[in-house]
Structure 1
Amino acid sequence: MRNKQKLQLLCVTLGFIIFLGLATGVFLQSEWVSEVNHFGQQLIQNRSPIADTFFTHVTQLGSVTFTSLVTLLLSLFLLFQRQYRLFLFLVVNIIISAGFITQLVKHIIKNPRPVTQLIPEHGYSFPSGHTMVSILLYGTLIILIRLYIKNTWLKNIMQLLFLSLIVIIPISRIYINVHYPSDILAGLALGYSLLMLSRYIFNIGEHT
């Protein structure tokens, strides 16, 4: 096994460990989780009219409607290109990981959402579905960009754009107070690990 693969495996393992630690802490209602949540909320929820408008719009980029449309268009593109392995890679990431696994964990942990939300949300809080979708969908797009885009300048710009969404969308969920920081951290850790595991299973490399 090459050093790069060993590092990726280490990161995947670390991601699962972080997720399990957070899930255990939330399920047991540990004090350290409350402290992490309080610190994150104090850091991010500095409200202003401009920030309210920005984050309430940005958070829609991780919504079911928007991500379903992106997934559909991307699926059609991959099928048209006869890239069936990449199509299955996308389907597993979005439908199974971001969809089924996220909902399964939510109904196991059953953690209620914060109250006084800027945008009303229902259902359980842990982990953040928007965060899972963000890292799995936009992370998949980053991987596909590396495969399809040859122009270095364009490739870097697009990667930076999607990486920014992976960061900003989860932050928006804390800002509008529909998720705790622990939900976001768990979504990032689990989403990253599932994305990298899926990439390994489907053998998606730089030159697929």
Structure 2
Amino acid sequence: MEKLPNKFLLPMSLFFAICFVVMLIGLQMNTLWLNRLDTYFISLIQLNINPFKTELFNIITFFGSVTMIGAVSLGVLLFIYIKKKYRLLLFIACSIMVGVGILPQLLKRLIQRDRPSDALIQETGFSFPSGHATSVTFLYSLLATVLCFYLIQYLRYKYIILLAAFLLIILIMISRVYLGVHYPSDVLAGFFLGLCESIFCIYILNKKKYL
């Protein structure tokens, strides 16, 4: 079965880790470029706020909620269990626990960036990095890759699945900014962190031959 080339995965994971660190340094130093990035994309995404768009983005953001992430994770773990890939099951379960649950919340508590004050919906907790962006980027990109390249043979439409996962991630990121619960730099940092995590997990899966 076709697999992703391992020699590119670790450098890619490191690249996205560096991107995240650059975002973090920009935030901690209150740099002009980060403030301009936030200002520009907020003005672009929140242009013409109206009830229809607000309801639409409320629906989209649900796909990154704890409820949806939990349901997708349980469904995938059940599928892996049925396939009797028990080592993969343990690895994916632990990866989700760390990548979705522990690491984003730990970073939020360490960095303690307040959320924007003019949100359209109520959210609690700190803002950087976006938990939604980190979780959906990590989970959906990891699951789409494992599904398309490792679990299902002869999947004709694998690139469509990968593209759909990517578009869903981007839409959820946009929804968080539109709804005013995150700055653009929050979701971008979460995107970089999630990609770093998911690509590193694929690297480990290849290296340790869990699949």
Q: Report the TM-score, using the length of structure 2 for normalisation.
A: 0.88
Alpha-carbon distance between aligned partners in 1 of 2:166 and 2:178, rounded to the nearest angstrom: 19
Structure 2 residue identity aligned to 1:134: V
Structure 1 letter corresponding to 2:39: H
Q: Distance in 1 between matches of 2:159 and 2:204?
A: 26
Which has the higher mean CA deviation after the structures are superposed, 87-96 or 187-196?
87-96
Report deviation, 1:194. 1.0
Is 1:114 matched with 2:116? yes
| 5+ long unaligned stretches in structure 1 | none
Give the structure 2 partner of residue 151 of structure 1: 155
Task: Note the C-alpha offset of 1:204.
Answer: 7.3
Q: Which residue of 2 aligns with 1:62?
A: 64
Determine the C-alpha separation between the residues in 1 that align with 2:156 and 2:170: 22
- Counterpart check, 1:200 vs 2:211: no
Q: Where do 1:84-123 residues align within 5 Å?
A: 84-123=86-125
Q: Deviations over 1:28-61 (max 9, x none)?
A: 3223221111111112112233221211110000
Listed as ranges, the matches of 1:43-62 within 5 Å are: 43-46=44-47, 47-62=49-64
Q: Output the CA distance in 2 between the equivalents of 1:64 and 1:38.
A: 28
Pick from 181, 184, 190 the counterpart of residue 181 of structure 1. Answer: 184
User: Under a length normalisation based on structure 1, what TM-score does the superposition of the two structures give?
Assistant: 0.90
Distance (Å, rounded) in 2 between the aligned partners of 1:23 and 1:16: 11
Contact 1:106 1:126 in 2 (8 A): yes
Compute the RMSD of aligned alpha carbons: 2.2
The Cα of 1:10 is off from its aligned counterpart by: 2.5
Who is 1:23 aligned against? 24
Matched residue SS, 2:55: helix
Q: Which amino acid aligns with 1:11?
A: M
Measure, in 2, the Cα distance between the counterparts of 1:36 and 1:21.
13
Unaligned 5+ segments in structure 2 are none
Deviates more, 1:121-130 or 1:76-85: 76-85
The percent of aligned pairs where both chains have the same amino acid is 35
Cα contact 1:119–1:178 (8 A) shared by 2: yes
Query: After the TM superposition, which parts of structure 1 deviate over 6 Å for at least 4 consecutive aligned residues?
Result: none
Counterpart of 1:171 in structure 2 is 174
